[in-house]
Structure 1
Amino acid sequence: MHDIQAKLLLSVQRALLGAVSSRLRAVTCRWEGVGITLRFVFDGEPADLDFEDAGIVAAEVAADFPAPWTVDEDIARLDYPDDLRPGALALWAFRRKESAMTGNPR
């Protein structure tokens, strides 16, 4: 279990390099059986490029987990300062720094 968890987190974090826009608040992930789900949470309406980047990240993760593994992405909008935790998947791969004191993302 820990081997899969570590491999998944490292795979997602590597795939996110160069794919994080200022609108991306968080990326969480999980696996069940041989199915992997990636959840991308955006602040504001995701742009076409955000959808494209999420697909590329999912494809790069899929390359690290060959068949019979499958990778699905879930893209959600959750505007700051709404709490990210209720819809989060089990593993956190990325979380944007947000300052509650100023009310602005940092």
Structure 2
Amino acid sequence: MKTFIDRKQEKKMTFSIMLLIALKWMEQNALCHSIKKEKIYETSEQGIVETAINEAANLSHHLAALRKVKTIVMLSSITKVDPIAVMETEEIKSSRL
């Protein structure tokens, strides 16, 4: 059975998924503990991931890593590539170094 999802719902879901990925990554890298999640959720849909990453950048010196994650998440949404798979691939590469 195929479920119909309109464009507005799809866009909202995409941003929600991107937010979860950004928060999960920050949590794994111990950057999430001081972030006020309420502040992130109060922002506009388009700014959610940007806000999450910027808040983490304010608390961290790992700006290059954060920019890399931001790029992966944004490109994944444009190209329709599964961002979780991309993140897992990046983790595997970095663990081999």
Q: TM-score range by the shorter chain?
A: 0.3 to 0.5
Return the structure number with greater relative CO, CA threshold 8 A, min gap 6: 1
Q: Identify, as 1 or 2, the structure richer in strand.
A: 1
- Normalising by structure 1, what TM-score? 0.40
Compare the two structures and name the one with the higher helix fraction: 2
Tell me the TM-score normalized by structure 2: 0.43
